């Protein structure tokens, strides 16, 4: 963690609710996408458009489908727990995509707190992958 000064142990991170992990993971994924696009963006609006396209629920659901077979058992468990979170209401992307995107974000949040090198590895698997 940047501000807390230490990474969390796996057992500490597992005490955090999947919804909170997803909230953190959403911010981390947006930052990753902004860093990835910063040199190629012509303007702030262009950067925002590219980031939002990659960070939408439909695309994150696709990214989860791409990486799920390569996850460690502990990571797959975080994904399973987060996929069971009920949606707070109707979503544009649909219930299945929303649950998958929440699971993807929870995984990103979990790895941000516990294992940055593994986080970088998984995020690198997602580059170049995008929903139509």
pLDDT in tens, 57-103: 999 999 999 999 999 999 999 999 999 887 666 566 688 899 999 99
Q: How far is CA 23 from CA 9, 34, 70, in A?
A: 19, 17, 23
The pLDDT of residue 1: 46
Q: Classify residue 106: in a domain, yes or no.
A: yes
Q: Which of 63, 74, 59 is nearest to 113 (CA)?
A: 74
Q: Classify residue 34: in a domain, yes or no.
A: yes
Q: Classify residue 2: in a domain, yes or no.
A: no
33 and 54 Cβ atoms separated by less than 8 Å: yes
| pTM recorded for the entire structure | 0.89
The pLDDT of residue 88: 66
The pLDDT of residue 132: 43
Integer-rounded Cα radius of gyration of the chain: 14
Instruction: Kindly name the residue from 26, 46, 115, 132 that is annotated as catalytic.
Output: 26
Q: Classify residue 38: in a domain, yes or no.
A: yes
| Confidence check: pLDDT of 3 > 60 | no
Average pLDDT, the chain: 89
CA distance 21 to 42: 32
| Confidence check: pLDDT of 47 > 70 | yes
Q: Classify residue 26: in a domain, yes or no.
A: yes
Query: Catalytic site residue 26?
Result: yes
The pLDDT of residue 89: 61
- Read off the CATH number of the domain in which 41 is found: 1.10.1520.10
The structural domain count of the chain equals: 1
CA distance 90 to 76: 26
Q: pLDDT, tens digit, for every residue of 28-45? A: 999 999 999 998 889 999
Domain of residue 37, residue span: 14-126
Q: Classify residue 6: in a domain, yes or no.
A: no
């Amino acid at each position: 963690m940047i501000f807390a000064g230490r990474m969390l142990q796996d057992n500490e991170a597992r005490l955090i609710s999947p919804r909170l992990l997803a909230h953190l993971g959403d911010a981390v994924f947006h930052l990753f996408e902004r860093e990835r696009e910063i040199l190629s963006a012509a303007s702030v609006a262009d950067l925002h458009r590219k980031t939002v396209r990659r960070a939408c629920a439909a695309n994150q659901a696709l990214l989860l489908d791409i990486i799920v077979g390569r996850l460690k058992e502990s990571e797959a468990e975080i994904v399973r727990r987060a996929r069971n979170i009920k949606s707070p209401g109707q979503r544009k992307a649909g219930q299945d995509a929303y649950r998958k995107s929440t699971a993807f974000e929870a995984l990103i949040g979990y790895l941000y707190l516990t294992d940055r090198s593994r986080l970088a590895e998984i995020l690198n698997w997602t580059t170049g992958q995008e929903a139509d």
